[in-house]
A and B are shown apart, each in its own frame.
Chain A
C-alpha cells in the first residue's frame, strides 16, 4: 500500500485495494522466486557437499576436487572471452555512437542486436561446423611458430575445438550486451563537452579520449562485468564447441581442455542418477552464487551513477 504523503487522504475504493494489493503481490513474487531458487538449490545440493565416490560415481574423490577444475575452466573461458570482446565492443559502440552517419546508426545498432537474438544452440552448431575447422590451420601455425609462448604450446588440437574457440564463440555472444551498454553511455556524453573539445582543435579521436571515454568509464566497467556474468553462465555453445577433458590446463590450443560448470551440467545431467544429480545441482549452486555476485557488482557500479538509468 502506498501511504499518502499529502495531508488529504484519498478515498480508498475496493478496486484500488485489489489492484494495488495484486501489484504488491506480483512485486513480492520476484523476491519469493529468487529466494526459492536459492533455497531449492541449497536443499538439493547439501547432501552432495559431503558426498564421496561411493555415493556419487562422478566424483573422483570428494566434491571440492570435482568442482575445482570446473570453476577454473568457467573463469578461464569467461576471462578469455571478455578479453577479446571488450576492445571490440568499445570499438563497435564508438563506431555506432560517434563515427557512423547519424541515419545509419540506429540500423547498425539493430544489426549488432541481431547477434543477441541468435539462440546459443545455433552458435554451438556454427562453432563446430564453421569456426573450429576455420581456425584449426591458424592454431597449427601458432603452435609451430609461437610455441615458445606458454599459452600456445603444443601439441595442437586436430579438431580446433579448444578452449580458445569456445572463448571466441562466447566473445561473439556477449558482444551485443556489452556494445549496447557502452553505446548507451557514450551517447549520454554531454554534447557541450564534445563540442568544446572540437572547438579547441581536437581531432575526433582526441575529442573521444578527452570527453567521451572519461565520461563513459563506469559504463564500460559495468558492461564488461555484465558480459563476464553472461560468459560465466553460457551453456550450450560451450558444451557443444569445447571438447573437454576436465584437466586443469592453461594451454589454449591443445586437445586437453578444462570444462565449464554450465557445460558440464548440460552434458552430464541427462544421464545422471541418484547422488550424481545432487552433485551437479551443487555445481549449479556455485555458478549461481558466482554470477549473482558478479551481476550485483555490475549493478552496483551502474547505480552509483544514476544518469545511466537506461543502461541495462
Chain B
C-alpha cells in the first residue's frame, strides 16, 4: 500500500502529495519481515529440492532452513533500504543479526537435547540402574557404582564446602572490613576461574605427598570438587546476604540481640531460600565435573562405598571411560555412555529446576 509513496514522509507533506496514512508512510508494513523470511526459506527450500533431485541424495532440511535464514538477512536490508532508507535498513539488519545470534545459540542446545535423549533411551532400562560394571564385558551392565560414587563424592564435597563457603560469605557481609575482606573477595572471584583439571591435580598432589604416588581416592575427588564448589557457594550466598535489608539487623540490635544471634536468627532465615538455591546450583555445577575426578578418584568397575580407600567411579567419568575404552561390541559401550549422559543431564536439570522452585516458593514475602 505504500509502494507509490515517496520514501520520505516530510518530503511528501512538503509537496502536498495525498497520503493515505502519514504515520505508516515510508515504512514497511509490520508483517513484511515475516513475509520476507517465509519467502527466503521457501526459495532456499526450492533450491535445495532441485539440488537434491539433481544429486539424487536425501533432502537436507537443516541446511535449507539455515540458508533460508541467511538469505533473509540481506533481503530484509535490501527491502528496507529501498522503502525506508539507510538508517532504518541498518536497524532492521542489526535486529536480524541479533535475533540470528540467539537462534544460532539455540541450535547446539536443541541438537544436544535431541541427541542425548534419542541415543540415551536405548539403554535407559532397569538393568542399567541395578547393575554395576563388575565382571561385565560387552553388553549389559549398569551405573550403580557410578551413581554411588557421584553421590558420595559430591556429598563429601558439599559437606566440606557449604560450611566454609557460608561462613566466608557471612564474614564478607557481616564482619569483613579492610584488606583481608578485599583480598578474599578478589581471590574468590579468581578461584571461580580455576580450571577444573588444576583442582584435580591439586587434590592428587596433596594426597600423593602424604600417601605416595599413584594414589586414587574418593576423598581426593571430593577435595577437588570442594575447591571448585567453595567459590560458587561464597559468591551466591554473599549476594543473598547483601539483599537482607539493614533495617532488620538494626531492629534486632535495637532490641539488644547479640550480633551472632542476629545473624543466626534474623539474617540467615531471611535469606535461606536464596542460599539454598545457590548451594543447589553449585552442586549442579560440580556434579558434572569429569576431569578432576578422572585425575583424583580414577575409575573402576566395582561399587565402592568407602571414600578413604581405593578408586571410585562417578557418572561423568563413567561416560568418558565408556567412550574412551571401547571394547567389543563397541555399540554396547557407546550406548552405555549416552544413557549415562542422559542420566547425568536429568540429574543436573532436576537440581536446577528444584533450585529455582525453592527460590520462588520460599522467597521472603516482604516488599519486592
Interface residues of A (CB under 8 A from B): 1-2, 10, 13, 15-16, 18-20, 22-31, 33-34, 36-37, 40-41, 43-44, 87-92, 94-96, 99-100, 108, 110-112, 114-115, 117-126, 128-131, 172, 175, 179, 203-206, 208, 226, 229-230, 232-236, 239-240, 262, 265-266, 269-270, 273-274, 277, 280-281, 284, 287-288, 291-292, 294-296, 298-299, 303, 310, 312
Most interface-central of B171, B184, B352 (chain A CB within 10 A): B171
**6 A–B contact pairs at CB < 8 A?**
A92-B101, A118-B109, A118-B345, A120-B290, A270-B294, A291-B193
Establish whether residues B168 and A23, one from each chain, have CB atoms under 8 Å apart when the complex forms.
Answer: yes
User: 19 more A-B contacts (CB under 8 A) besides A16-B258, A120-B288, A205-B90?
Assistant: A23-B170, A26-B164, A30-B168, A31-B187, A33-B230, A37-B198, A37-B199, A40-B202, A91-B97, A91-B98, A114-B109, A122-B345, A125-B338, A235-B196, A240-B324, A265-B201, A270-B294, A288-B198, A312-B189
- Determine the residue in chain A with the shortest Cβ distance to B227: A33
Query: Roughly how many angstroms separate A312 CA and B188 CA in the complex, as a whole number?
Result: 11
- Determine the residue in chain A with the shortest Cβ distance to B99: A95
Establish whether residues A29 and B209, one from each chain, have CB atoms under 8 Å apart when the complex forms.
Answer: no
Establish whether residues B95 and A299, one from each chain, have CB atoms under 8 Å apart when the complex forms.
Answer: no
Q: CB-CB < 8 A to B95: which residues of A?
A: 99, 204-205
Establish whether residues B206 and A40, one from each chain, have CB atoms under 8 Å apart when the complex forms.
Answer: yes
Q: How far does the Cβ of B190 sit from chain A's closest Cβ, in whole Å? A: 5
Cross-interface CB contact of A203 among B91, B172, B183, B316, cutoff 8 Å: B91
Establish whether residues A123 and B164, one from each chain, have CB atoms under 8 Å apart when the complex forms.
Answer: no
Query: Roughly how many angstroms separate A124 CA and B340 CA in the complex, as a whole number?
Result: 13
B310 at the binding interface (Cβ < 8 Å): no
Given A23-B171, A34-B191, A130-B115: A266 in contact with B263 (beta carbons within 8 A): no
Given A204-B91, A287-B198: A266 in contact with B295 (beta carbons within 8 A): yes
Q: CB-CB < 8 A to B284: which residues of A?
A: 117
Interface residues of B in 84-120 (CB under 8 A from A): 87-88, 90-91, 93-95, 97-102, 104-106, 108-109, 111-112, 115-116, 119
- Determine the residue in chain A with the shortest Cβ distance to B351: A117
Stretch touching chain A among B136-144, B151-159, B174-182: B174-182
Establish whether residues B109 and A115, one from each chain, have CB atoms under 8 Å apart when the complex forms.
Answer: yes
Establish whether residues B164 and A175, one from each chain, have CB atoms under 8 Å apart when the complex forms.
Answer: no
Q: How far does the Cβ of A225 sit from chain B's closest Cβ, in whole Å? A: 10
Q: CB-CB < 8 A to B102: which residues of A?
A: 91-92, 95-96, 100, 108, 112
Cross-interface CB contact of B320 among A16, A124, A208, A277, cutoff 8 Å: A124
Q: How far does the Cβ of B52 sit from chain A's closest Cβ, in whole Å? A: 14
Q: CB-CB < 8 A to A16: which residues of B?
A: 258-260
Interface residues of B (CB under 8 A from A): 87-88, 90-91, 93-95, 97-102, 104-106, 108-109, 111-112, 115-116, 119, 163-168, 170-172, 174-177, 180-181, 183-184, 186-199, 201-202, 204-206, 208-209, 213-214, 227, 230-231, 234-235, 239, 258-261, 263-264, 284-285, 287-291, 294-295, 298-299, 316, 319-320, 323-324, 337-338, 341, 344-345, 348-349, 352, 356
Establish whether residues B111 and A126, one from each chain, have CB atoms under 8 Å apart when the complex forms.
Answer: yes
Establish whether residues A30 and B198, one from each chain, have CB atoms under 8 Å apart when the complex forms.
Answer: no
Establish whether residues A206 and B258, one from each chain, have CB atoms under 8 Å apart when the complex forms.
Answer: no
Query: Roughly how many angstroms separate A236 CA and B90 CA in the complex, as a whole number?
Result: 41
Report the 4 A-B pairs with minimum CB-CB distance, sorted nearest first: A233-B195, A91-B101, A119-B288, A26-B167
Establish whether residues A299 and B186, one from each chain, have CB atoms under 8 Å apart when the complex forms.
Answer: yes
Q: CB-CB < 8 A to B104: which residues of A?
A: 88
Q: CB-CB < 8 A to A37: which residues of B?
A: 194, 198-199, 202, 227
Establish whether residues B201 and A41, one from each chain, have CB atoms under 8 Å apart when the complex forms.
Answer: yes
- Determine the residue in chain B with the shortest Cβ distance to A5: B177
Establish whether residues B323 and A240, one from each chain, have CB atoms under 8 Å apart when the complex forms.
Answer: yes
Establish whether residues B100 and A91, one from each chain, have CB atoms under 8 Å apart when the complex forms.
Answer: yes
Q: How far does the Cβ of A90 sit from chain B's closest Cβ, in whole Å? A: 8
Given A31-B187, A129-B119, A205-B91: A233 in contact with B235 (beta carbons within 8 A): no
Establish whether residues B344 and A122, one from each chain, have CB atoms under 8 Å apart when the complex forms.
Answer: yes
Q: How far does the Cβ of B38 sit from chain A's closest Cβ, in whole Å? A: 20
Establish whether residues B348 and A29, one from each chain, have CB atoms under 8 Å apart when the complex forms.
Answer: no
Establish whether residues B230 and A43, one from each chain, have CB atoms under 8 Å apart when the complex forms.
Answer: no
Q: CB-CB < 8 A to B204: which residues of A?
A: 281
Q: How far does the Cβ of A39 sit from chain B's closest Cβ, in whole Å? A: 9
Query: Roughly how many angstroms separate A43 CA and B172 CA in the complex, as a whole number?
Result: 31
Query: Roughly how many angstroms separate A266 CA and B290 CA in the complex, as a whole number?
Result: 9
Query: Roughly how many angstroms separate A15 CA and B260 CA in the complex, as a whole number?
Result: 7
Query: Roughly how many angstroms separate A43 CA and B205 CA in the complex, as a whole number?
Result: 9
Q: How far does the Cβ of B217 sit from chain A's closest Cβ, in whole Å? A: 15
Establish whether residues B116 and A27, one from each chain, have CB atoms under 8 Å apart when the complex forms.
Answer: no
Given A126-B115, A226-B193: A235 in contact with B187 (beta carbons within 8 A): no
Establish whether residues B260 and A20, one from each chain, have CB atoms under 8 Å apart when the complex forms.
Answer: yes
Query: Roughly how many angstroms separate A252 CA and B15 CA in the complex, as a whole number?
Result: 59
Establish whether residues B197 and A287, one from each chain, have CB atoms under 8 Å apart when the complex forms.
Answer: yes
Q: How far does the Cβ of A146 sit from chain B's closest Cβ, in whole Å? A: 17
Establish whether residues A129 and B294, one from each chain, have CB atoms under 8 Å apart when the complex forms.
Answer: no
Query: Roughly how many angstroms separate A91 CA and B105 CA in the complex, as a whole number?
Result: 10
Cross-interface CB contact of B319 among A112, A121, A277, cutoff 8 Å: A121
Q: CB-CB < 8 A to B290: which residues of A?
A: 119-121, 235-236, 266
Q: CB-CB < 8 A to B298: which residues of A?
A: 270
Cross-interface CB contact of B291 among A40, A89, A100, A266, cutoff 8 Å: A266
Query: Roughly how many angstroms separate A92 CA and B103 CA in the complex, as a whole number?
Result: 9
Q: CB-CB < 8 A to B105: which residues of A?
A: 88, 92, 112, 115, 172, 175, 179
Cross-interface CB contact of B316 among A95, A110, A119, cutoff 8 Å: A119
Query: Roughly how many angstroms separate A179 CA and B160 CA in the complex, as a whole number?
Result: 31
Query: Roughly how many angstroms separate A284 CA and B108 CA in the complex, as a whole number?
Result: 30
